[in-house]
């Protein structure tokens, strides 16, 4: 580092700032997604909501193919390449990855625009025709949309695939250097804009035009986010050049891809593919008609939205953190692992318990016609929340390149989800569909966590787990007692009834949170090392948090 260059922040400072900025943006992102979800569930027809979910599922599946596993691999290799080759080596890596993805995208686009255009649209039409819950008017409207504007559906998918490549690459770059303020600002824009534009389209456009408006909004918003992300990446790249202005030139014939990148990316692609196959985006194709797809999507959206915001402090932290620990930049592997798990336990366990207990009244507020989705929430919350906890060991294993273990975990998903998807849906309906992909993810998570303990010496924080479970049990008892205070709803639920129910729910959630933190404090509170870490952070009301926890 030159005497005139800016000094690179320490690892601890980068991680601390990342967690803080992740957390600061939670309320804004939650409000935007909650607003858009409520509007979609109430102002779109159930069939229209289901059709949009099916289109989104197709985009997610094709996006998995175009990604080639690079979204998971880049946060690991960008810091390594930057450390040994500087910004120019990183630029070469990103150029090579972008070229590979564009080659795959061109092939897919050519096929989708020619050979598979009509078969795909015909499959959507069959979903509409075979749905017994659709009335003639809704059915005719959706069939007319697919007949007259099928080209727009295909065009939106193609545009989203290209924008997804750019967005994932830029965000991986920002994540790799713990630029969580920029990352969250862009993620907030990427989350707010499509939601707000979708709300405007739904409220202003009549009949099936609202569905087309949502499709246009889903393309316009990420285009803006990609432009902002590209600008932030350019600024960061120039800043990094000031950190290492004396980086030697790359030798002639130096490979564009670092050693180990191809096998690592191959495993990452297998992970992404199996994640898609064990997700609601794929499961909705097992759900029957568009109305069933809408109910499954609504339940999965509620569980995923809660998990996503509880997981927010960890976004973009785990893989770069484990990578830097491996490079000897500070801390120990087991110390980092236990700190991450304790934070997730603190968030996931009481959050999941509270969501399950309040799922039915929450769905009454969001959309009474989707009350059947409560059973989906009861199944998915324990499965997805537990799997997210177990994924911490998975991230450590992949950073330490124990790729054989990762491959087996992905095969476990396939081996579990295939028979369960065949056996459970005929017997349990939509609940069986949700249970199939939820249990598959938990089985893979148990495998990687067990092997992380065996191969890397990871140790689960059992003592803290016991405290959190005990505090959550007391919170659950308090919520069950307080639920009887909810006023009974009339047969015809009005907007005023739902707003009143929402106020009561907020009060119950606040009472549950207070109960949990008081109980946790009585059972011993946080570990001393976690309290010390909080004491070093610049947090509002820090002394109060330390006293409570």
Give the global pTM.
0.75
Distance CA 254, CA 232 (A): 28
What is the reported pLDDT for 543?
63
What is the reported pLDDT for 25?
57
Integer CA distances (angstroms), 541 to 134, 455, 544, 546, 548, in order: 53, 40, 5, 9, 11
What is the reported pLDDT for 547?
63
Q: Count the domains in the chain.
A: 1
Tokens encoding 214 = 């949502």
Taking only the tens place, the pLDDT of each residue in 244-296 is: 555 555 555 567 777 888 888 888 888 888 888 888 888 888 877 788 888 89
Q: What is the pLDDT along the chain (549 residues), one digit of tens a residue?
A: 344 444 555 555 555 555 555 555 556 666 667 777 777 777 777 888 888 888 888 888 898 989 888 887 887 788 777 777 777 777 888 888 899 999 999 998 888 777 777 888 888 888 888 777 777 877 888 888 888 888 888 888 889 999 989 988 888 887 776 565 666 667 767 766 777 787 788 777 766 677 888 888 888 888 888 888 888 877 777 776 665 555 555 555 567 777 888 888 888 888 888 888 888 888 888 877 788 888 898 888 888 888 877 877 666 677 777 877 887 776 788 888 988 899 899 989 999 999 999 998 888 877 778 888 999 999 999 999 999 999 899 889 988 888 889 889 989 998 998 899 888 988 888 899 999 989 999 999 999 999 999 999 999 999 999 999 999 999 999 999 988 877 776 777 676 777 788 888 888 989 999 999 999 989 888 777 766 665 555 544 556 555 655
Distance CA 90, CA 92 (A): 5
Orientation angle between helical segments 26-43 and 11-24, nearest 10 degrees: 40
Integer CA distances (angstroms), 296 to 39, 63, 426, in order: 17, 21, 15
What is the reported pLDDT for 113?
76
What is the reported pLDDT for 3?
40
Assign residue 5 a region: left if phi > 0, alpha if psi is -120 to 50, beta otherwise?
beta
What is the reported pLDDT for 440?
92
Is residue 97, in this structure, part of any structural domain at all? yes
Is residue 38, in this structure, part of any structural domain at all? yes
Is residue 159, in this structure, part of any structural domain at all? yes
In this structure, are residues 173 and 78 in contact, taking their beta carbons and an 8 Å threshold?
A: yes
Distance CA 211, CA 191 (A): 18
Q: What is the 3-state secondary structure (H, E, C) of 348-371?
A: HHHHHHHHHHCHHHHHHHHCHHHH
What is the reported pLDDT for 259?
80
Is residue 477, in this structure, part of any structural domain at all? no
What is the reported pLDDT for 462?
93
DSSP string, 206-270: -TTHHHHHHHHHHHHHHHHHHHHHHHHHHHHHHHHHHH-TTPPPPPTT--SS-TTHHHHHHHHHH
Average pLDDT, rounded, for the chain: 80
What is the reported pLDDT for 139?
80
Is residue 387, in this structure, part of any structural domain at all? no
Is residue 157, in this structure, part of any structural domain at all? yes
Q: Please, how many CA atoms are within 13 Å of residue 4, restricted to the half-sphere of its CB?
A: 4
Is residue 495, in this structure, part of any structural domain at all? no
Is residue 334, in this structure, part of any structural domain at all? no
Q: Domain range holding 222?
A: 15-245+257-270
What is the reported pLDDT for 15?
54
What is the reported pLDDT for 4?
41
In this structure, are residues 504 and 486 in contact, taking their beta carbons and an 8 Å threshold?
A: yes
Neighbouring residues of 364: CB distance < 8 A, sequence distance ≥ 6? 371, 489, 493, 498, 501
Tokens encoding 300 = 């999965």
């Amino acid at each position: 580092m030159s005497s005139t260059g800016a000094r690179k922040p320490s690892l601890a400072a980068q991680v601390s700032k990342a967690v803080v900025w992740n957390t600061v943006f939670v309320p804004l992102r939650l409000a935007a997604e909650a607003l858009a979800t409520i509007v979609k569930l109430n102002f779109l027809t159930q069939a229209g909501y289901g059709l949009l979910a099916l289109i989104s599922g197709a985009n997610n599946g094709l996006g998995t193919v175009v990604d080639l596993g690079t979204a998971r691999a880049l946060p690991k290799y960008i810091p390594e390449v930057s450390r040994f080759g500087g910004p120019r080596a990183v630029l070469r890596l990103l150029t090579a990855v972008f070229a590979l993805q564009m080659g795959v995208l061109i092939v897919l686009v050519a096929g989708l625009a020619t050979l598979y255009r009509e078969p795909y649209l015909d499959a959507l039409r069959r979903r509409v025709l075979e749905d017994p819950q659709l009335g003639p008017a809704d059915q005719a409207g959706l069939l007319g949309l697919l007949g007259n504007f099928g080209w727009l559906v295909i065009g939106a998918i193609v545009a989203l695939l290209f924008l997804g490549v750019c967005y994932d690459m830029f965000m991986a770059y920002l994540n790799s250097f713990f630029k969580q303020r920029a990352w969250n600002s862009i993620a907030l824009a990427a989350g707010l804009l499509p939601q707000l534009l979708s709300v405007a389209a739904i409220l202003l456009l009549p009949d099936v035009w609202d569905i087309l408006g949502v499709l246009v909004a889903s393309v316009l918003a990420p285009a803006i986010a990609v432009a902002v992300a590209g600008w932030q990446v350019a600024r960061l790249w120039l800043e990094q050049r000031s950190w290492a202005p004396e980086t030697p030139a790359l030798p002639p014939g130096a490979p564009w891809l670092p050693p180990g990148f191809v096998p690592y990316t191959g495993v990452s692609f297998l992970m992404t593919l199996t994640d898609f196959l064990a997700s609601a985006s794929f499961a909705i194709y097992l759900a029957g008609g568009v109305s069933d797809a809408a109910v499954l999507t609504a339940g999965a959206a509620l569980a995923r939205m809660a998990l996503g915001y509880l997981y927010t402090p960890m976004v973009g932290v785990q893989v770069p953190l484990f990578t830097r620990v491996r490079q000897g930049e500070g801390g120990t592997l087991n110390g980092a692992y236990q700190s991450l798990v304790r934070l997730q336990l603190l968030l996931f366990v009481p959050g999941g318990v509270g969501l399950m207990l309040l799922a039915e009244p929450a769905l009454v507020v969001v959309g009474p016609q989707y009350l059947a989705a409560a059973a989906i929430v009861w199944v998915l919350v324990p499965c997805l929340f537990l799997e997210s906890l177990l994924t911490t060991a998975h991230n450590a294993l992949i950073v330490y390149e124990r790729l054989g273990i990762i491959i087996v975990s992905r095969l476990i998903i396939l081996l579990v989800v295939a028979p369960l998807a065949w056996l459970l849906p005929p017997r349990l309906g939509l609940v069986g569909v949700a249970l199939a992909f939820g249990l598959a993810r938990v089985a893979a998570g148990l495998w990687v966590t067990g092997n992380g303990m065996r191969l890397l010496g990871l140790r689960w924080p059992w003592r803290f787990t016991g405290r959190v479970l005990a505090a959550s049990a007391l919170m659950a008892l308090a919520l069950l007692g307080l639920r009887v205070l909810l006023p009974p709803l009339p047969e015809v639920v009005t907007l005023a009834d739902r707003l009143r129910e929402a106020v009561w729910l907020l009060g119950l959630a606040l009472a549950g949170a207070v109960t949990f933190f008081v109980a946790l404090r009585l059972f011993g509170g946080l570990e001393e090392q976690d309290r010390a870490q909080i004491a070093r952070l610049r947090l509002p009301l820090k002394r109060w948090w330390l006293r409570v926890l």
